[in-house]
Amino acid sequence: MALTETLQFAGTMFSGAMRIAIPICFGALGSTICERAGIVNIGIEGMMLAGSFGGVVGALVTGSPWIGLLFAMVAGMLFSLLHGVLTIHYGTGHIISGLGVNLLASGVTTVLLVAIWQNRGKSEMVGTLPTIELTFLKKIPFIGQAFGSFSPLFLLLLAAVALLWVFLYKTTFGLRARIVGESPQTADAAGISVPKMQYICVLLCGLLCGLGGAYLSIGDIGMFSRDMVAGRGYIAMAVTIFGAWNPIGALGGGLLFGLAQSLQFRLQQSGIPVQLIQMLPYVITILVLLLVRRKGGGPAAAGKTFDREKH
């Protein structure tokens, strides 16, 4: 009996962790592909925010959260395109450009929020994506709680992880992208267009971030509220590092963070000061970084602007 309860508890924890992890994992996947191609992207946060907003607008305009998902991807890609143009074409510092993207996304979504809904805090409610219910699993301890019902975006996330992994390590395109991030001169001298590869990866990043953001709005609560990404984009960047710039690592890292957060919700009922518990995920992030230090080290040319004429 006790075992069943423990398993059920663990299952619930896991499902909670999963829900927290979905947006972060999407962000981390985006950041992973972006950094692999040599573009450091602090703008994950803003791109996710744009995705959240775009999702709600899309769902509202078309009445379908599924089409909202498309809007979210486009919104994420718009902001990633801006980051791409600035860093790749104009050679703007990657950090500065990313910060600009974040500020801009925050400002634009809030101003539009007021413009559309005359409300400073949140949008109206829209339909959410239906959850997938696997009734036949519900009886099994752990599995039932963990996988009995989940967002379709979770499936999409798993697919994205698998696809991205195959893409990075098994296709010629992925090989080229990795070499671009490692040594753009080498790629260039081999006749590969460095900007083209980087634009593709940055746009892909925007798309993934858009999905992550959409989960927060139309995948979960069914509305947009201002600055609703609330730092998940930055967490995603940390997850990228301890996932060693690998899509599978990003998934694992995101789930780990989700578990920490989910543990936090549990602990809040235990009488430990809430602030200390809220700190936990961030402390854990730093501790994990401490544990995995210097693993991989990351793409050598990440954050540097490539200019062929300057060698």
Helices 2-36 and 44-62 pack at an angle, to 10 degrees, of 110
Among 175, 200, 248, 263, binds another protein (CB under 8 A): 175
8-state DSSP, 137: G
CB 164 within 8 A of CB 32: yes
- Which of the residues 275 through 304 are near another protein (CB under 8 A)? 275-276, 278-279, 282-283, 285-286, 289-290, 293-294, 297, 300, 302-304
Among 188, 225, 244, 263, binds another protein (CB under 8 A): 188
Query: According to CB under 8 A, which one of 108, 132, 140, 221 is a site residue for another protein?
Result: 108
Among 8, 12, 131, 183, binds another protein (CB under 8 A): 183
Q: Does 111 bind another protein (CB under 8 A)?
A: yes
Residue with smaller CB distance to another protein, 3 or 115:
115
**45 neighbors 231 (Cβ within 8 angstroms):** yes
Of 34, 62, 2, residue with least CA distance to 241? 34
CB of 151 to another protein, least distance (A): 26
The Cβ-side half-sphere exposure at 232, using a 13 Å CA radius, reads 32
Minimum Å gap between C-beta 137 and another protein is 34
Binding-site member from 1, 2, 120, 270 for another protein (CB under 8 A)? 120
Show the site string, 56-95: x = touches another protein by CB under 8 A, - = not: ------------------------------x--xxxxxxx
Helix (H) or strand (E) holding 133: strand 132-133
Answer for which of 17, 18, 20, 40 binds another protein (CB under 8 A) is 40
d(CA 131, CA 220): 9
- Give residues 124-163 in contact with another protein (rule: CB under 8 A): none
Minimum Å gap between C-beta 63 and another protein is 24
**Residue 173 interacts with another protein (CB under 8 A): yes or no:** yes
How many angstroms separate the CA atoms of 107 and 246, rounded? 32
Nearest to 76 by CA among 107, 103, 100, 53: 53
Ramachandran region, residue 183 (left: φ > 0; alpha: ψ -120 to 50; beta: rest): beta
Residues 215-234 that bind another protein (CB under 8 A): 226, 231, 234
Sign of the dihedral defined by the CA atoms of residues 230, 243, 39, 164, in that order: negative
* Minimum distance of another protein from residue 75's CB (angstroms): 16
Give the integer Cα–Cα distance in Å for 161 and 23.
13
Q: What phi and psi, each to the nearest 5 degrees, are found at residue 149?
A: -145, 135
Output the smallest distance, CB 174 to another protein, in A: 8
* Residue 127 or 303 having the CB closest to another protein: 303
252 near another protein, rule: CB under 8 A: no
At 233, list the tokens. Answer: 């984009």
